[in-house]
Structure 1
Amino acid sequence: MPVLPPPSASFSSSASPPPRAGVVAALRAAGCVFAEEEAELILAGARTPREIAALVERRVAGFPLEQVLGWAGFHGLRIAVEPGVFVPRRRTEFLVDQAVARSPEASVVVDLCCGSGAVGAALAEALGPVELHAADIDPAAVRCARRNIVPRGGAVHRGDLFDALPGSLRGRVDILAANVPYVPTDEVGLLPPEARDHEPLVALDGGPDGLDILRRVTAEAPTWLAPDGCLLVETSEHQTPQALAVFLEAGLTAHLAVSEEFSAHVVTGTRH
Protein backbone atom coordinates (compact mmCIF):
# COMPACT_ATOMS: atom_id res chain seq x y z
CA MET A 1 0.00 0.00 0.00
CA PRO A 2 1.99 3.01 -1.18
CA VAL A 3 2.30 6.16 0.85
CA LEU A 4 3.41 9.63 -0.21
CA PRO A 5 5.67 11.92 1.83
CA PRO A 6 3.91 12.98 5.05
CA PRO A 7 1.98 16.24 5.13
CA SER A 8 3.21 19.15 7.19
CA ALA A 9 0.51 18.68 9.82
CA SER A 10 1.32 15.98 12.38
CA PHE A 11 -1.05 13.55 14.06
CA SER A 12 0.13 14.05 17.64
CA SER A 13 -0.09 11.27 20.20
CA SER A 14 -1.03 13.92 22.75
CA ALA A 15 -4.19 14.85 20.87
CA SER A 16 -7.66 13.90 22.04
CA PRO A 17 -8.92 10.44 21.02
CA PRO A 18 -9.23 10.48 17.21
CA PRO A 19 -12.58 9.38 15.79
CA ARG A 20 -12.62 6.98 12.86
CA ALA A 21 -13.22 9.81 10.43
CA GLY A 22 -10.17 11.63 11.76
CA VAL A 23 -7.99 8.55 11.33
CA VAL A 24 -9.19 8.05 7.78
CA ALA A 25 -8.63 11.71 6.96
CA ALA A 26 -5.07 11.65 8.33
CA LEU A 27 -4.21 8.51 6.37
CA ARG A 28 -5.77 9.80 3.19
CA ALA A 29 -3.91 13.10 3.49
CA ALA A 30 -0.67 11.12 3.77
CA GLY A 31 -1.43 9.39 0.47
CA CYS A 32 -2.61 6.01 1.79
CA VAL A 33 -4.68 4.57 -1.05
CA PHE A 34 -6.61 2.18 1.20
CA ALA A 35 -7.19 4.68 4.02
CA GLU A 36 -10.53 3.24 5.16
CA GLU A 37 -9.24 -0.34 5.36
CA GLU A 38 -6.04 0.75 7.11
CA ALA A 39 -8.04 2.80 9.62
CA GLU A 40 -10.12 -0.26 10.53
CA LEU A 41 -6.97 -2.32 11.14
CA ILE A 42 -5.36 0.39 13.25
CA LEU A 43 -8.49 0.95 15.32
CA ALA A 44 -8.90 -2.80 15.86
CA GLY A 45 -5.27 -3.27 16.87
CA ALA A 46 -4.85 -0.39 19.32
CA ARG A 47 -5.91 -0.70 22.97
CA THR A 48 -6.07 2.97 23.91
CA PRO A 49 -6.65 6.32 22.20
CA ARG A 50 -2.98 7.14 22.75
CA GLU A 51 -1.98 3.96 20.92
CA ILE A 52 -4.30 4.84 18.05
CA ALA A 53 -2.69 8.24 17.71
CA ALA A 54 0.82 6.76 17.89
CA LEU A 55 0.07 4.16 15.21
CA VAL A 56 -1.47 6.75 12.89
CA GLU A 57 1.51 9.02 13.39
CA ARG A 58 3.93 6.23 12.39
CA ARG A 59 1.86 5.35 9.35
CA VAL A 60 1.64 9.00 8.28
CA ALA A 61 5.43 9.18 8.65
CA GLY A 62 5.73 6.49 5.97
CA PHE A 63 6.29 3.26 7.90
CA PRO A 64 4.81 0.15 6.22
CA LEU A 65 1.38 -0.67 7.59
CA GLU A 66 2.55 -4.15 8.58
CA GLN A 67 5.40 -2.75 10.67
CA VAL A 68 2.98 -0.29 12.26
CA LEU A 69 0.50 -3.03 13.17
CA GLY A 70 3.17 -5.58 14.10
CA TRP A 71 1.83 -8.26 11.77
CA ALA A 72 1.14 -9.13 8.15
CA GLY A 73 -1.48 -11.39 6.65
CA PHE A 74 0.22 -14.15 4.67
CA HIS A 75 -1.24 -17.40 3.32
CA GLY A 76 -4.06 -17.29 5.86
CA LEU A 77 -1.72 -16.65 8.79
CA ARG A 78 -0.97 -13.61 10.91
CA ILE A 79 2.82 -13.26 10.68
CA ALA A 80 4.67 -11.17 13.27
CA VAL A 81 6.58 -8.32 11.62
CA GLU A 82 9.01 -6.04 13.45
CA PRO A 83 10.47 -2.64 12.49
CA GLY A 84 13.35 -2.93 10.04
CA VAL A 85 12.32 -6.39 8.81
CA PHE A 86 11.28 -7.22 5.25
CA VAL A 87 7.49 -7.31 4.96
CA PRO A 88 6.20 -10.54 3.36
CA ARG A 89 4.50 -9.87 0.02
CA ARG A 90 1.20 -11.43 -0.93
CA ARG A 91 2.68 -12.53 -4.27
CA THR A 92 5.06 -14.84 -2.38
CA GLU A 93 2.05 -16.93 -1.36
CA PHE A 94 2.33 -18.32 -4.89
CA LEU A 95 5.80 -19.67 -4.06
CA VAL A 96 4.32 -21.47 -1.05
CA ASP A 97 1.57 -22.97 -3.20
CA GLN A 98 4.11 -24.16 -5.77
CA ALA A 99 6.25 -25.78 -3.08
CA VAL A 100 3.31 -27.66 -1.58
CA ALA A 101 2.13 -28.80 -5.02
CA ARG A 102 5.63 -29.99 -5.96
CA SER A 103 6.41 -31.80 -2.72
CA PRO A 104 3.24 -32.50 -0.70
CA GLU A 105 4.97 -35.23 1.31
CA ALA A 106 7.99 -33.11 2.24
CA SER A 107 9.46 -33.83 5.66
CA VAL A 108 12.46 -31.43 5.69
CA VAL A 109 11.87 -27.79 4.80
CA VAL A 110 14.32 -24.87 4.70
CA ASP A 111 13.33 -21.19 4.41
CA LEU A 112 16.50 -19.43 3.23
CA CYS A 113 16.73 -15.61 3.27
CA CYS A 114 13.76 -16.03 5.57
CA GLY A 115 13.09 -12.45 6.68
CA SER A 116 10.13 -12.74 9.04
CA GLY A 117 9.93 -16.49 8.44
CA ALA A 118 6.58 -16.16 6.67
CA VAL A 119 7.34 -18.73 3.97
CA GLY A 120 8.59 -21.33 6.42
CA ALA A 121 5.63 -20.79 8.74
CA ALA A 122 3.17 -21.10 5.86
CA LEU A 123 4.82 -24.28 4.59
CA ALA A 124 4.72 -25.84 8.05
CA GLU A 125 1.02 -25.02 8.35
CA ALA A 126 0.25 -26.42 4.91
CA LEU A 127 2.33 -29.60 5.13
CA GLY A 128 1.79 -30.63 8.72
CA PRO A 129 4.63 -31.87 10.95
CA VAL A 130 7.98 -31.21 9.25
CA GLU A 131 11.58 -30.63 10.23
CA LEU A 132 11.68 -26.88 9.66
CA HIS A 133 14.73 -24.62 9.46
CA ALA A 134 14.95 -20.94 8.57
CA ALA A 135 18.00 -18.73 8.10
CA ASP A 136 18.89 -15.11 7.46
CA ILE A 137 22.01 -12.96 7.70
CA ASP A 138 20.18 -10.04 9.33
CA PRO A 139 19.92 -10.23 13.15
CA ALA A 140 16.61 -8.32 13.20
CA ALA A 141 15.12 -10.80 10.75
CA VAL A 142 16.37 -13.77 12.78
CA ARG A 143 14.84 -12.33 15.94
CA CYS A 144 11.52 -11.75 14.19
CA ALA A 145 11.53 -15.14 12.42
CA ARG A 146 11.90 -16.94 15.72
CA ARG A 147 8.51 -15.54 16.74
CA ASN A 148 6.93 -17.20 13.71
CA ILE A 149 9.03 -20.35 13.29
CA VAL A 150 9.75 -21.61 16.81
CA PRO A 151 6.07 -21.98 17.80
CA ARG A 152 5.73 -24.29 14.81
CA GLY A 153 8.56 -26.50 16.02
CA GLY A 154 11.23 -25.02 13.78
CA ALA A 155 14.69 -23.56 14.30
CA VAL A 156 16.06 -20.25 13.04
CA HIS A 157 19.76 -19.77 12.27
CA ARG A 158 21.80 -16.65 11.59
CA GLY A 159 24.45 -16.60 8.89
CA ASP A 160 25.27 -16.11 5.22
CA LEU A 161 23.02 -18.42 3.20
CA PHE A 162 24.01 -22.09 3.61
CA ASP A 163 26.74 -21.25 6.13
CA ALA A 164 23.94 -20.73 8.63
CA LEU A 165 22.50 -24.24 8.29
CA PRO A 166 23.44 -27.34 10.28
CA GLY A 167 25.66 -29.62 8.22
CA SER A 168 23.33 -32.52 9.02
CA LEU A 169 20.86 -31.11 6.48
CA ARG A 170 23.12 -31.79 3.50
CA GLY A 171 21.37 -34.09 1.03
CA ARG A 172 18.16 -34.16 3.09
CA VAL A 173 16.18 -31.04 2.16
CA ASP A 174 12.89 -31.76 0.37
CA ILE A 175 11.83 -28.12 -0.04
CA LEU A 176 14.39 -25.32 -0.20
CA ALA A 177 12.45 -22.06 -0.45
CA ALA A 178 14.76 -19.11 -1.05
CA ASN A 179 12.99 -15.78 -1.41
CA VAL A 180 16.25 -14.09 -2.37
CA PRO A 181 16.62 -10.33 -2.97
CA TYR A 182 16.28 -9.73 -6.70
CA VAL A 183 16.03 -5.98 -7.24
CA PRO A 184 18.95 -4.74 -9.40
CA THR A 185 21.14 -2.33 -7.45
CA ASP A 186 20.37 0.60 -9.75
CA GLU A 187 16.62 0.06 -9.28
CA VAL A 188 16.52 0.00 -5.47
CA GLY A 189 16.06 3.77 -5.46
CA LEU A 190 12.92 3.35 -7.57
CA LEU A 191 11.15 1.23 -4.96
CA PRO A 192 8.24 2.70 -2.97
CA PRO A 193 9.42 4.68 0.07
CA GLU A 194 7.96 2.04 2.40
CA ALA A 195 10.44 -0.52 1.11
CA ARG A 196 13.34 1.78 0.29
CA ASP A 197 13.33 3.63 3.61
CA HIS A 198 12.09 1.03 6.09
CA GLU A 199 13.22 -2.40 4.91
CA PRO A 200 16.83 -3.64 5.07
CA LEU A 201 18.88 -3.15 1.92
CA VAL A 202 20.26 -6.68 2.26
CA ALA A 203 16.71 -7.99 1.70
CA LEU A 204 16.19 -5.96 -1.47
CA ASP A 205 19.46 -5.51 -3.39
CA GLY A 206 20.25 -8.45 -5.66
CA GLY A 207 23.37 -6.99 -7.27
CA PRO A 208 23.92 -5.41 -10.72
CA ASP A 209 21.36 -7.58 -12.52
CA GLY A 210 19.41 -8.66 -9.44
CA LEU A 211 20.57 -12.28 -9.67
CA ASP A 212 23.74 -12.35 -7.54
CA ILE A 213 22.15 -14.09 -4.56
CA LEU A 214 20.11 -16.39 -6.77
CA ARG A 215 23.32 -17.58 -8.43
CA ARG A 216 24.97 -18.29 -5.07
CA VAL A 217 21.96 -20.21 -3.79
CA THR A 218 21.53 -22.22 -6.98
CA ALA A 219 25.20 -23.18 -7.15
CA GLU A 220 25.13 -24.79 -3.70
CA ALA A 221 21.57 -26.07 -3.62
CA PRO A 222 22.18 -29.49 -5.24
CA THR A 223 24.41 -30.60 -2.35
CA TRP A 224 21.68 -29.76 0.16
CA LEU A 225 18.66 -31.15 -1.68
CA ALA A 226 17.39 -34.66 -1.12
CA PRO A 227 16.83 -36.84 -4.19
CA ASP A 228 13.81 -35.27 -5.93
CA GLY A 229 14.10 -32.29 -3.57
CA CYS A 230 13.25 -28.90 -5.03
CA LEU A 231 14.58 -25.36 -4.87
CA LEU A 232 12.09 -22.53 -5.37
CA VAL A 233 12.91 -18.86 -5.91
CA GLU A 234 10.85 -15.83 -6.82
CA THR A 235 12.04 -13.53 -9.58
CA SER A 236 10.77 -10.82 -11.90
CA GLU A 237 9.33 -11.44 -15.35
CA HIS A 238 12.31 -10.01 -17.25
CA GLN A 239 14.80 -12.02 -15.14
CA THR A 240 13.19 -15.41 -15.72
CA PRO A 241 15.20 -16.43 -18.83
CA GLN A 242 18.48 -15.82 -17.00
CA ALA A 243 17.21 -17.48 -13.83
CA LEU A 244 16.16 -20.59 -15.74
CA ALA A 245 19.59 -20.75 -17.36
CA VAL A 246 21.30 -20.49 -13.97
CA PHE A 247 19.24 -23.42 -12.67
CA LEU A 248 20.13 -25.56 -15.66
CA GLU A 249 23.82 -24.74 -15.28
CA ALA A 250 23.62 -26.01 -11.71
CA GLY A 251 22.31 -29.35 -12.94
CA LEU A 252 18.72 -28.81 -11.82
CA THR A 253 15.62 -29.52 -13.87
CA ALA A 254 14.10 -26.05 -14.18
CA HIS A 255 10.43 -25.09 -14.39
CA LEU A 256 8.75 -21.68 -14.49
CA ALA A 257 5.34 -21.05 -12.94
CA VAL A 258 3.49 -17.76 -13.42
CA SER A 259 0.52 -16.35 -11.54
CA GLU A 260 -1.34 -13.56 -13.28
CA GLU A 261 -3.40 -13.00 -10.13
CA PHE A 262 -0.36 -12.31 -7.96
CA SER A 263 1.95 -11.03 -10.74
CA ALA A 264 4.37 -13.66 -9.48
CA HIS A 265 7.10 -15.65 -11.23
CA VAL A 266 8.56 -18.69 -9.47
CA VAL A 267 11.40 -20.79 -10.79
CA THR A 268 11.59 -24.33 -9.43
CA GLY A 269 14.61 -26.58 -9.75
CA THR A 270 14.50 -30.29 -8.97
CA ARG A 271 17.41 -32.57 -8.18
CA HIS A 272 17.22 -35.96 -9.84
Structure 2
Amino acid sequence: MNKVKEINPLVHCMTNMVVTTFTANGLLALGASPVMAYAKEEVEDMAGAAGALLLNIGTPSVELAHAMILAGKAANKAGKPVILDPVGAGATPFRTQICHQILEEVDVTIIRGNAGEAAALLGLEGTVKGVDGSLEGDKLEVAKQLANTYQCIAVVTGDIDVITDGSNVQTIANGHEWLTKIVGAGCLLGGVVAAFAAVSDRKDDVETAASAVSYYGVAAEKAFQETKKEGFGSFAQSFINQLGMMTEDEARSMRREAR
Protein backbone atom coordinates (compact mmCIF):
# COMPACT_ATOMS: atom_id res chain seq x y z
CA MET A 1 0.00 0.00 0.00
CA ASN A 2 2.77 2.39 0.91
CA LYS A 3 4.51 1.64 -2.39
CA VAL A 4 1.32 2.44 -4.32
CA LYS A 5 1.16 5.88 -2.70
CA GLU A 6 4.88 6.43 -3.21
CA ILE A 7 5.14 5.28 -6.82
CA ASN A 8 1.68 6.40 -8.03
CA PRO A 9 1.51 3.67 -10.70
CA LEU A 10 -0.34 4.26 -13.95
CA VAL A 11 -3.06 1.63 -14.26
CA HIS A 12 -4.51 1.19 -17.74
CA CYS A 13 -8.16 0.23 -17.21
CA MET A 14 -10.10 -1.22 -20.10
CA THR A 15 -13.21 -1.59 -18.00
CA ASN A 16 -16.94 -1.42 -18.56
CA MET A 17 -19.06 1.69 -19.03
CA VAL A 18 -21.11 1.05 -15.88
CA VAL A 19 -18.17 1.35 -13.46
CA THR A 20 -15.70 3.74 -15.09
CA THR A 21 -16.09 6.65 -12.67
CA PHE A 22 -16.23 4.46 -9.56
CA THR A 23 -13.10 2.60 -10.63
CA ALA A 24 -11.23 5.82 -11.42
CA ASN A 25 -12.19 7.45 -8.12
CA GLY A 26 -11.23 4.35 -6.15
CA LEU A 27 -7.82 4.10 -7.79
CA LEU A 28 -7.15 7.80 -7.30
CA ALA A 29 -8.04 7.49 -3.61
CA LEU A 30 -5.75 4.48 -3.32
CA GLY A 31 -2.83 6.48 -4.68
CA ALA A 32 -2.70 5.05 -8.20
CA SER A 33 -3.20 6.95 -11.44
CA PRO A 34 -5.98 5.47 -13.61
CA VAL A 35 -6.26 5.93 -17.35
CA MET A 36 -9.17 4.66 -19.41
CA ALA A 37 -8.14 4.03 -23.02
CA TYR A 38 -10.07 1.78 -25.39
CA ALA A 39 -9.29 2.78 -28.99
CA LYS A 40 -7.30 0.18 -30.90
CA GLU A 41 -5.19 3.03 -32.29
CA GLU A 42 -3.67 3.81 -28.88
CA VAL A 43 -4.11 0.84 -26.52
CA GLU A 44 -0.76 -0.72 -27.35
CA ASP A 45 1.11 2.48 -26.52
CA MET A 46 -0.86 3.00 -23.32
CA ALA A 47 -0.50 -0.58 -22.11
CA GLY A 48 3.24 -0.48 -22.72
CA ALA A 49 3.59 2.73 -20.72
CA ALA A 50 1.35 1.71 -17.80
CA GLY A 51 2.42 -0.18 -14.71
CA ALA A 52 -0.41 -2.70 -15.12
CA LEU A 53 -3.32 -3.47 -17.44
CA LEU A 54 -6.87 -4.31 -16.32
CA LEU A 55 -9.15 -6.08 -18.82
CA ASN A 56 -12.78 -6.07 -17.64
CA ILE A 57 -15.37 -7.51 -20.05
CA GLY A 58 -18.47 -6.18 -18.27
CA THR A 59 -19.92 -4.51 -21.39
CA PRO A 60 -18.39 -6.60 -24.19
CA SER A 61 -18.20 -6.06 -27.93
CA VAL A 62 -16.18 -7.59 -30.74
CA GLU A 63 -14.30 -4.33 -31.21
CA LEU A 64 -13.44 -4.05 -27.52
CA ALA A 65 -12.24 -7.65 -27.36
CA HIS A 66 -9.90 -6.98 -30.29
CA ALA A 67 -8.53 -3.87 -28.60
CA MET A 68 -8.06 -5.77 -25.32
CA ILE A 69 -6.00 -8.43 -27.06
CA LEU A 70 -3.82 -5.77 -28.68
CA ALA A 71 -3.30 -4.10 -25.30
CA GLY A 72 -2.65 -7.42 -23.58
CA LYS A 73 0.04 -8.41 -26.07
CA ALA A 74 1.69 -5.00 -25.69
CA ALA A 75 1.68 -5.35 -21.89
CA ASN A 76 3.19 -8.83 -22.22
CA LYS A 77 5.94 -7.46 -24.46
CA ALA A 78 6.70 -4.72 -21.93
CA GLY A 79 6.70 -7.16 -19.02
CA LYS A 80 3.69 -5.55 -17.33
CA PRO A 81 1.08 -7.55 -15.34
CA VAL A 82 -2.29 -8.19 -16.99
CA ILE A 83 -5.37 -8.65 -14.81
CA LEU A 84 -8.50 -10.19 -16.36
CA ASP A 85 -11.92 -9.67 -14.79
CA PRO A 86 -14.28 -12.07 -16.64
CA VAL A 87 -17.46 -10.22 -15.63
CA GLY A 88 -20.52 -12.35 -16.31
CA ALA A 89 -18.61 -15.19 -17.95
CA GLY A 90 -21.08 -18.04 -18.28
CA ALA A 91 -24.08 -15.71 -18.53
CA THR A 92 -23.90 -15.84 -22.33
CA PRO A 93 -21.72 -17.81 -24.75
CA PHE A 94 -20.46 -14.51 -26.18
CA ARG A 95 -18.92 -13.39 -22.88
CA THR A 96 -17.31 -16.76 -22.28
CA GLN A 97 -15.93 -16.83 -25.82
CA ILE A 98 -14.32 -13.39 -25.39
CA CYS A 99 -12.63 -14.52 -22.19
CA HIS A 100 -11.27 -17.62 -23.90
CA GLN A 101 -10.02 -15.52 -26.80
CA ILE A 102 -8.13 -13.24 -24.44
CA LEU A 103 -6.71 -16.18 -22.48
CA GLU A 104 -5.57 -17.89 -25.68
CA GLU A 105 -3.71 -14.85 -27.02
CA VAL A 106 -2.59 -12.97 -23.90
CA ASP A 107 -0.41 -14.13 -21.01
CA VAL A 108 -2.74 -13.16 -18.15
CA THR A 109 -1.03 -12.65 -14.79
CA ILE A 110 -4.11 -12.64 -12.54
CA ILE A 111 -7.73 -13.68 -13.09
CA ARG A 112 -10.14 -12.09 -10.61
CA GLY A 113 -13.72 -13.32 -10.63
CA ASN A 114 -16.45 -14.88 -8.54
CA ALA A 115 -16.93 -18.62 -8.29
CA GLY A 116 -19.51 -18.80 -11.07
CA GLU A 117 -17.27 -16.94 -13.48
CA ALA A 118 -14.31 -19.12 -12.58
CA ALA A 119 -16.39 -22.23 -13.20
CA ALA A 120 -17.54 -20.92 -16.57
CA LEU A 121 -13.94 -20.41 -17.73
CA LEU A 122 -13.29 -24.05 -16.89
CA GLY A 123 -16.50 -25.40 -18.41
CA LEU A 124 -17.79 -26.51 -14.99
CA GLU A 125 -21.30 -26.30 -13.54
CA GLY A 126 -21.94 -22.85 -12.16
CA THR A 127 -24.77 -20.37 -11.92
CA VAL A 128 -24.45 -16.85 -13.31
CA LYS A 129 -27.27 -14.32 -13.02
CA GLY A 130 -26.37 -11.13 -14.84
CA VAL A 131 -22.85 -10.54 -13.55
CA ASP A 132 -23.33 -12.29 -10.19
CA GLY A 133 -22.20 -15.88 -9.88
CA SER A 134 -22.18 -18.83 -7.55
CA LEU A 135 -20.81 -22.33 -7.62
CA GLU A 136 -21.87 -25.57 -6.04
CA GLY A 137 -18.72 -27.41 -5.00
CA ASP A 138 -15.25 -26.80 -3.67
CA LYS A 139 -14.23 -23.22 -4.49
CA LEU A 140 -10.64 -23.90 -3.45
CA GLU A 141 -10.29 -26.73 -5.97
CA VAL A 142 -11.87 -24.60 -8.69
CA ALA A 143 -9.43 -21.77 -7.92
CA LYS A 144 -6.48 -24.17 -8.08
CA GLN A 145 -7.70 -25.63 -11.37
CA LEU A 146 -8.15 -22.14 -12.82
CA ALA A 147 -4.61 -21.17 -11.80
CA ASN A 148 -3.10 -24.37 -13.18
CA THR A 149 -5.07 -24.28 -16.42
CA TYR A 150 -4.06 -20.73 -17.30
CA GLN A 151 -0.71 -20.59 -15.45
CA CYS A 152 -1.76 -17.54 -13.49
CA ILE A 153 -2.81 -16.31 -10.06
CA ALA A 154 -6.51 -17.05 -9.48
CA VAL A 155 -8.42 -14.68 -7.22
CA VAL A 156 -11.86 -16.21 -6.63
CA THR A 157 -13.95 -13.92 -4.49
CA GLY A 158 -16.98 -14.48 -2.28
CA ASP A 159 -17.69 -14.79 1.43
CA ILE A 160 -14.18 -16.21 1.63
CA ASP A 161 -11.70 -15.06 -0.99
CA VAL A 162 -9.32 -17.69 -2.36
CA ILE A 163 -6.01 -16.62 -3.90
CA THR A 164 -3.74 -19.28 -5.38
CA ASP A 165 -1.13 -20.05 -8.01
CA GLY A 166 -2.26 -23.67 -8.04
CA SER A 167 -0.12 -24.75 -5.10
CA ASN A 168 0.36 -21.81 -2.71
CA VAL A 169 -2.96 -20.69 -1.23
CA GLN A 170 -4.16 -17.66 0.74
CA THR A 171 -7.73 -17.43 2.05
CA ILE A 172 -9.01 -14.00 3.10
CA ALA A 173 -12.08 -13.45 5.27
CA ASN A 174 -12.20 -9.64 5.17
CA GLY A 175 -15.02 -7.71 3.52
CA HIS A 176 -18.67 -6.88 4.04
CA GLU A 177 -21.90 -7.91 2.35
CA TRP A 178 -22.75 -4.27 1.60
CA LEU A 179 -20.15 -4.42 -1.17
CA THR A 180 -22.78 -6.42 -3.07
CA LYS A 181 -25.18 -3.47 -2.80
CA ILE A 182 -23.07 -0.96 -4.73
CA VAL A 183 -22.39 -1.10 -8.45
CA GLY A 184 -18.78 -1.71 -9.42
CA ALA A 185 -17.37 -3.05 -6.17
CA GLY A 186 -15.95 -6.19 -7.75
CA CYS A 187 -14.72 -4.28 -10.79
CA LEU A 188 -12.83 -1.79 -8.61
CA LEU A 189 -11.22 -4.70 -6.79
CA GLY A 190 -9.71 -5.75 -10.10
CA GLY A 191 -8.21 -2.26 -10.36
CA VAL A 192 -6.82 -2.41 -6.82
CA VAL A 193 -5.23 -5.80 -7.52
CA ALA A 194 -3.70 -4.28 -10.68
CA ALA A 195 -2.31 -1.33 -8.70
CA PHE A 196 -0.68 -3.64 -6.14
CA ALA A 197 0.76 -5.82 -8.90
CA ALA A 198 2.13 -2.74 -10.67
CA VAL A 199 4.40 -1.88 -7.72
CA SER A 200 5.33 -5.41 -6.68
CA ASP A 201 8.75 -6.85 -7.45
CA ARG A 202 6.97 -10.19 -7.92
CA LYS A 203 3.98 -9.28 -10.06
CA ASP A 204 2.60 -12.81 -10.06
CA ASP A 205 3.05 -13.34 -6.32
CA VAL A 206 0.12 -14.82 -4.37
CA GLU A 207 0.83 -12.56 -1.39
CA THR A 208 0.68 -9.45 -3.59
CA ALA A 209 -2.86 -10.31 -4.70
CA ALA A 210 -3.88 -11.44 -1.22
CA SER A 211 -2.68 -8.15 0.28
CA ALA A 212 -4.78 -6.22 -2.23
CA VAL A 213 -7.86 -8.31 -1.49
CA SER A 214 -7.42 -8.00 2.27
CA TYR A 215 -6.83 -4.23 2.12
CA TYR A 216 -9.98 -3.87 0.05
CA GLY A 217 -12.01 -5.96 2.47
CA VAL A 218 -10.80 -4.08 5.54
CA ALA A 219 -11.73 -0.78 3.88
CA ALA A 220 -15.26 -2.12 3.42
CA GLU A 221 -15.48 -3.19 7.06
CA LYS A 222 -14.37 0.24 8.28
CA ALA A 223 -16.77 1.96 5.88
CA PHE A 224 -19.68 -0.12 7.17
CA GLN A 225 -18.93 0.81 10.76
CA GLU A 226 -19.05 4.48 9.78
CA THR A 227 -22.29 4.30 7.78
CA LYS A 228 -24.35 1.36 9.04
CA LYS A 229 -27.12 3.72 10.17
CA GLU A 230 -27.10 5.70 6.92
CA GLY A 231 -27.31 3.20 4.07
CA PHE A 232 -25.67 2.01 0.88
CA GLY A 233 -25.06 5.41 -0.73
CA SER A 234 -23.14 6.70 2.26
CA PHE A 235 -21.31 3.38 2.45
CA ALA A 236 -20.06 3.73 -1.13
CA GLN A 237 -18.68 7.20 -0.41
CA SER A 238 -17.09 6.13 2.86
CA PHE A 239 -15.57 3.11 1.16
CA ILE A 240 -13.73 5.34 -1.32
CA ASN A 241 -12.57 7.48 1.60
CA GLN A 242 -11.21 4.46 3.44
CA LEU A 243 -9.27 3.26 0.40
CA GLY A 244 -7.36 6.53 0.57
CA MET A 245 -7.15 7.21 4.30
CA MET A 246 -6.54 3.78 5.79
CA THR A 247 -2.92 2.99 6.61
CA GLU A 248 -1.05 -0.15 5.73
CA ASP A 249 -0.60 -0.87 9.45
CA GLU A 250 -4.36 -0.64 10.05
CA ALA A 251 -5.05 -3.00 7.18
CA ARG A 252 -2.44 -5.46 8.38
CA SER A 253 -3.76 -5.47 11.95
CA MET A 254 -7.32 -6.19 10.76
CA ARG A 255 -6.42 -8.83 8.17
CA ARG A 256 -8.27 -12.10 8.73
CA GLU A 257 -7.31 -15.34 7.07
CA ALA A 258 -9.84 -18.17 6.89
CA ARG A 259 -8.75 -21.50 8.30
Higher RCO, 1 or 2 (CA under 8 Å, sep at least 6)?
2
* Bigger strand fraction: 1
* Bigger helix fraction: 2
Q: Same fold (TM over 0.5)?
A: no
Q: Normalising by the residue count of structure 2, what TM-score does the alignment of the two structures yield?
A: 0.32
Larger Rg: 1
